[in-house]
Structure 1
Amino acid sequence: MDNEKYLAPPWIKYPYAPAESDFWKDGSGAEYLIKYNKYVKENGDIEDVFPRAITFTEEIEASDSLSENFKKYLKSDKRPYFIKLWSADAKSKYNPEYVKGKYSIMYDIIFTEEKHIPIGKTHYHSFNEIVSLVKESIKDMNLNADETEQLWDEMKYTVYLNALYYKLANDINFINEMIKMDGKIIACYSDNLEYGLQEKSDGSLVGNNLMGIATMELRDHLIDVYKNYSKVDWTISGKPNSVKRCTCSVHTH
């Protein structure tokens, strides 16, 4: 059995700090990068053990299928630096069918509650505050009303994915819950039918479930990044970003 332990890579030690953040330019961030780079130089690359999180991956080149306005936005200095493509076409990975008894329920309190969300050196109070920030940045592109609506409709799933990452990946407990749900379909129950779903009297579900679908894609990414989390040596890595506790926001239906 491989009992080898490793220094935590930056994207696990500080999951809220994307590579482009000023967090890494001074203070504890800069010190940890120096420590990590020295560790890799002496011990070899460990990305086969801890694949890079989306926060540290290279920018994905936009597909020709994206609108010119979307491609222009991605290159604009108006775009918050932590909003990036997860796929070239900005499409969702999943288009699930919801069969009674074969999906897991997630409640929208995960998205609607106000909770401290750090991103780099900036702090946000809610998922919706991050979404509003992006919507405001679109206004600076001087598009007409129809163009603005079309652009938001095209990019909103990408925005939700990024906002979800910083909302949820900052907590090892939610990550562990996601790992347990590997391969399962997730239905987000919500009054907001874009974010989630509602159950009708006949038992069928109505809604877009964008949050459930995005959470499934986020889950797959987190499983890849955190599959060897137990191999982190916190005695040399310092205090972990979060500690384990009971989490009951998600359960099997």
Structure 2
Amino acid sequence: MSNTENKYFAPPWMKYPNCPSESLFWKNGSGAEYLLEYEKLDIEDEEYLNLFPKPLVYTDDVKADDSLSDEAHEYLDYEFKPLFVKLWTPDAKPKYSPEYVEDEYIFMYDTLYDDKSNVVQIGVKHYHSLAQLVTFAQMLLSDISSSLWDELKYTVYLNSIYYFFVSDINFVNEILHTGDKVIVYKSDNLELGMNKNDDGNLVGENLMGIAMMQARDEIKRVYANYDLIDWELSGGANSVERCMCNHH
């Protein structure tokens, strides 16, 4: 359904981008009310979904392949697994293995990891920071086995950073502003990020930087037609865009 200006009623996954379809958020209150209104409009056809594709975090369509252990398969098939353990690729591996060429990458700094100024919401649960979310996930999976955490940790990083960015449309704009640049997550934690050694060379796995690049791809896909949403018709956006006047 569109209005006279060819604007559209917002899909649930963009109205409440931190709430995947299986979240309890949609069972009552504002979530249930919005979903009911959306379903009454009966607008989810091929054209609409081409404009506003469902993000990977909203569905549970990606299934594990045989490269993952039986333990991982069993955990991923568990109906009540945490919402931040959702596959983006069948092998749970990073999409990118970037080359780090001087002047062709940009830094993201690890201050955002501990930043408590923006709560990370996933469904009805709230985390004070990315660090709290990742630490909780590591404890949860490692309690089952350290190998399970090793297999699924990148999946946790990927989901966590996606939810961090989409919690605020200004974060969405910031990550999209990086274009197709390789992202280096600058950190002394050489699993999550990278730093320069005594020879001036970057060292580290940069898993969080790679997750940011993969999340950026998904955000590009999902938010490509954000400007076509009629937020007045949809009851308002979950966050308000600020002026980006200093960006070029």
TM (norm. structure 2) is 0.90
Quick check: 1:182–1:220 contact (8 Å CA) kept in 2? no
TM (norm. structure 1) is 0.88
- Greater mean deviation of Cα atoms: 71-80 or 236-245: 71-80
Q: 1:176 aligns with which of 173, 176, 179?
A: 173
Which residue matches 2:131?
128
The one of the two structures with greater contact order (alpha-carbon pairs below 8 A, sep at least 6) is 1
Q: 1:99 to 1:42 in 2, by over 3 A?
A: closer
Quick check: 1:194–1:209 contact (8 Å CA) kept in 2? yes
Q: 1:100 to 1:42 in 2, by over 3 A?
A: closer
Q: 1:88 to 1:169 in 2, by over 3 A?
A: same
Q: CA deviation at 1:50?
A: 0.6
Alignment partners' CA distance in 2, 1:138 and 1:187: 26
Q: CA deviation at 1:77?
A: 5.3
Quick check: 1:11–1:55 contact (8 Å CA) kept in 2? no
Quick check: 1:196–1:207 contact (8 Å CA) kept in 2? yes
Q: 1:102 aligns with which of 104, 111, 125?
A: 104
Which residue matches 2:19?
17
Q: CA deviation at 1:235?
A: 1.3
Output one character per residue of 1:5-56: Cα deviation in whole Å (capped at 9) or x when no partner: 1011111100111111111111110111111112234988611101101232
Q: 1:242 to 1:41 in 2, by over 3 A?
A: closer
Superposed CA RMSD? 2.4
Output one character per residue of 1:96-124: Cα deviation in whole Å (capped at 9) or x when no partner: 01011001111111212123122222211
Q: 1:26 aligns with which of 28, 39, 42?
A: 28
- SS of residue in 2 equivalent to 1:137: helix
Which residue matches 1:207?
204
Q: For structure 2, which runs of at least 5 residues remain unmatched after alignment?
A: none
Q: 1:161 to 1:129 in 2, by over 3 A?
A: same
Output one character per residue of 1:169-225: Cα deviation in whole Å (capped at 9) or x when no partner: 111111112222232111111111111111234331011111100000000000000
Quick check: 2:142–2:148 contact (8 Å CA) kept in 1? no
Alignment partners' CA distance in 2, 1:41 and 1:77: 29
Summarize the alignment of residues 1-253 of structure 1 with structure 2, pairs less than 5 Å apart. Answer: 4-41=6-43, 46-76=48-78, 79-114=81-116, 115-139=118-142, 141=144, 148-245=145-242
Q: 1:238 to 1:54 in 2, by over 3 A?
A: same
- SS of residue in 2 equivalent to 1:69: helix
- Greater mean deviation of Cα atoms: 43-52 or 217-226: 43-52
Alignment partners' CA distance in 2, 1:219 and 1:43: 26
Alignment partners' CA distance in 2, 1:85 and 1:42: 24
Output one character per residue of 1:117-175: Cα deviation in whole Å (capped at 9) or x when no partner: 2222221111122223223332553xxxxxx2222111110011111122221111111
Which residue matches 1:144?
none
- One-letter amino acid matched to 1:245: R
Quick check: 1:59–1:84 contact (8 Å CA) kept in 2? no
Q: For structure 1, which runs of at least 5 residues remain unmatched after alignment?
A: 142-147
Q: 1:67 to 1:246 in 2, by over 3 A?
A: farther
Alignment partners' CA distance in 2, 1:192 and 1:85: 24
- One-letter amino acid matched to 1:219: R
